[in-house]
Amino acid sequence: MKRHLNIIDEIPDYFKKEHPDIVKILNDYYEYFEKILKETKNGSFVIKKTEIEYFKNTITKIIKLFKTAYTDSIKDYKTELYNMKFFDEMLNFEFQESIRKKNDFCVIIIDIDFFKKINDTYGHLIGDEIIEEIGKILKKSIRKIDIAARFGGEEFIILYKSNIQNIKKITDRIMNNIIKNKIMKKYNIHISGGVSYFKNKDKNPMLIKNRADKLLYQAKKNGRNQFIIDK
């Protein structure tokens, strides 16, 4: 029987290294498939019903593992928010959709006020706990259609899929959830944020991010513990 192309040969080395469990299932299945595949005289192939069931079960396992691997690849390990690679992909997609369908969206960049002082005073373990808690607060504060990511360090970013007229609903909710949170109260944690939105003159999504970033630093200059919203 002619040997068929082994999918393992087509898998990049980095994937094999990062996901050996998936590669093992694929390889085990391929070897088993080679053993049970029977070629008839006219060149067609026959597989028993029991083998088809085995195939279905194996594919189900592979799909589950791929889902887990994909989820791990788009999430920030500390906060379980999305990572910036995924965020930028979604931002670019939303930007293109806004051009095509005239959809509105906003970008919110958030920074924990005086985070270095928090680390210096309480230690990095407490700093990590605060970052994780902020992640939970942001997930609680936004809708399922919105996307929150960890920008890096103590900064976070949100893709809010609505127009600027509705933005105070989410910024007020974030602030209220910060105020009510026990850990935020214990360590006297405040945040600052900048908010920008899609404008017809924007040539690329980076312009929106840059405006939000500038507004964040304006919020810091203005005394922190506030959001500055683009006009």
pLDDT tens-digit series, residues 50-80:
776 777 777 778 778 877 888 888 999 899 9
Quick: pLDDT tens for 18-27: 778 878 877 8
Got the DSSP string for 32-64? HHHHH-EE-TTS-EE--HHHHHHHHHHHHHHHH
CB-based contact 181:134 (threshold 8 Å): no
Low-confidence ranges of the chain (pLDDT < 70): 1-8, 10, 14, 36-47, 52
Sketch out the chain's domains with CATH numbers: 7-74 (no CATH), 84-229 (3.30.70.270)
CA torsion sign, 113 to 115 to 121 to 126?
A: positive
Catalytic positions are 154
* Residue 1 confidence (pLDDT): 40
Got the DSSP string for 73-132? HHB-TTT-SB-HHHHHHHHHHHHHHHHHH----EEEEEEETTHHHHHHHH-HHHHHHHHH
The closest of 14, 190, 9, 208 to 112, measured between CA atoms, is: 190
CB-based contact 188:134 (threshold 8 Å): no
